[in-house]
Amino acid sequence: MASVRQFQVTFDCAEPERVARFWCEVLGYVAPPVPEGFATWDDFNRTLPPEDQGSWSACVDPSGVGPRLYFQRVPEGKVVKNRLHLCVRVGVGLKGEERLAALEAECARLIPLGAVRAYLLPADEVNESTLVMQDIEGNEFCLD
């Protein structure tokens, strides 16, 4: 049996391009290469039927290591807590106040991009602190 080496994470959202730009900034990702024969993604988008224009966007890890993120427009809005979320690993190996400082610094960087701070899960006997946030469409993610 073949083993999977790559995967894509897909987000349902209202504004795919806007959400993709947000996550590019958060993760240091970039837009994928423009399809051959087109100068820009806007040029490509204009060739699609009107109902498909702006219906999706994507971002990729420029190093090729992380998963591709794909954003697709859906008609319904977010109603409940995510069943799956991303954890942005900014405090790996850090403990206590040093970890909290790293989480808070990243939170401060992301808020001007449109992120919202939700709440802090303080350290306990098993886990270090994690800061829960929301992206620009209210999807939860963690700084850990």
- Domains located in the chain, CATH noted: 8-73 (3.30.720), 87-143 (no CATH)
Query: Sorting pLDDT into bands at 50, 70 and 90, what band is 82?
Result: confident
Give the model's pLDDT for residue 106: 97
Give the model's pLDDT for residue 3: 75
The Cα 89–Cα 127 span in angstroms is 14
Angle at 17 between CA 13 and CA 22, to 5 degrees: 85
Burial category of 41 from C-beta neighbours within 10 Å (exposed 0-12, middle 13-18, buried 19 and up): middle
Lowest mean pLDDT among 19-28, 105-114, 123-132: 123-132
pLDDT at 2 over 80: no
Cβ within 8 Å of residue 54, ≥6 positions away: 16, 17, 45, 73
Query: Sorting pLDDT into bands at 50, 70 and 90, what band is 1?
Result: low
